[in-house]
Amino acid sequence: MIRALFLFLFFAASSATFGQGAHYTYPFSISCPDELMTAGQPVTVVAMFEGGHRGERYAPIYNWSLSQGTIMSGQGTTSITVEIGRENIGQVIVTLDRVFNEAHFPDVQRSANCTLAVAPWPEARMFDEFRTAGNNCEEGFARLDSFFVELNNNPVDTGLIAVYGDAGDKRAARRRATQLRNHFKYRNFDLNRIRMVFGRSRENGTTQFWMIPPGAEAPMIEAEVPVPEIERPTETTLYAAEYTDGVGGCNGNIFDLAAYAAVLKTDTANVARIVIGQSSQAKYRRKANEIIAELRRLGIPRAKIVTVYKYVRPNRMLEMTELWIVPPKG
């Protein structure tokens, strides 16, 4: 009688003890996010148990591992936070191993895994490169048009234009930058999407077009200096000329009175000197009055506007208007 009672109590206690961890014998899985992850992004991976999960005395040890990347937190628990480094691309296999007491839990599922799909860390890429020096402005315009197309095809990217000076031509970088800015205006392209900088002069100066996707770092430009929107003239300068032929913007600024007025305003002492080549005084006065009226509307005092008549033969090809800036003591 006593022996039977002892055996009953032993088996009841054993059943109760093993029952506390019985739910750990159920199948389990781990869940990776379905969406494409970006390198550098933290990710949470969770274990899911069909029989539920309770932290009881015979709970297994949870051991997580990764094919690449770093476990930031959660090792030993039922969920982890993973950091996918910039160098990790392609797939990351996440594995959870459950370590049991073999005597208590024979033949139960001990491992599960899932896969994270990882996109590469975004990086800037050079779209084009060509010589800074030289007078072939049409080449620069054609390349810039291709760059515009690439930016339009990637609307979330921004552009960087790096103009490296040429050691054999001190004015090459500014000349090329002016040509490219002229083409911006000509194409009415959104300048907020493009940044232009000067780099250090090289033996063979080059101009580079860069595409920068969101999250990517801009390339390192040696001796980077922003290209100013407006430069204050320090000597008498031909700002722009209007001819009836030639490629606009190749040899200077585009004939744009608003831009001309903005440069004049860099110093209240600047004088606008406008040379107008026409075949008659009547044509000259008509052209001069139009320009004076527009400059006054743009805020240039009449006293700071000087027009000069230049006679040309009655040939439309010879007609021209030059916009000069005469700074103080210029």
Tell me the fold of 125-226. 60s Ribosomal Protein L30; Chain: A; (3.30.1330)
Please indicate whether the domains covering 125-226 and 237-326 agree at the CATH topology level: yes
| Pairwise CA distance, residues 157 & 21, whole Å | 54
Tens of each residue's pLDDT in the chain, 330 residues: 454 444 433 334 444 344 444 455 678 899 888 888 877 778 899 998 876 555 555 667 889 999 988 999 999 988 999 988 777 777 899 999 988 766 666 777 889 999 998 888 888 999 999 999 876 788 888 999 999 999 999 999 999 999 999 988 888 898 899 889 888 888 888 778 899 999 999 888 999 999 999 888 899 998 888 888 778 888 998 888 886 445 566 777 888 899 899 999 999 999 999 999 999 999 999 999 999 999 999 999 999 999 999 999 887 677 889 999 999 975
| Pairwise CA distance, residues 213 & 184, whole Å | 21
Which residues are CB-neighbours of 112 under 8 A, at least 6 positions away?
28, 29, 30, 47, 95, 96
Give the Cβ contact number of residue 27 at 10 Å: 11
> Residue 65's beta-bridge partner residues?
95
Q: Is there a contact between 277 and 318 (Cβ–Cβ < 8 Å)?
A: yes
Which one-letter DSSP state was computed for residue 246?
A: S
C-alpha distances out from residue 38 to 85, 87, 223, 283, Å:
9, 11, 32, 65
**134-149 CB burial, b ≥16 within 10 A, e <16:** eeebeebbebbeebbe
Tell me the fold of 237-326. 60s Ribosomal Protein L30; Chain: A; (3.30.1330)
Extents of the domains making up the chain? 20-119, 125-226, 237-326
Largest Cα span, the chain: 137
- CATH for the stretch 20-119: 2.60.40.1080
Q: Say what the alpha-carbon torsion angle 112, 65, 61, 54 is, to the nearest 10 degrees.
A: -60
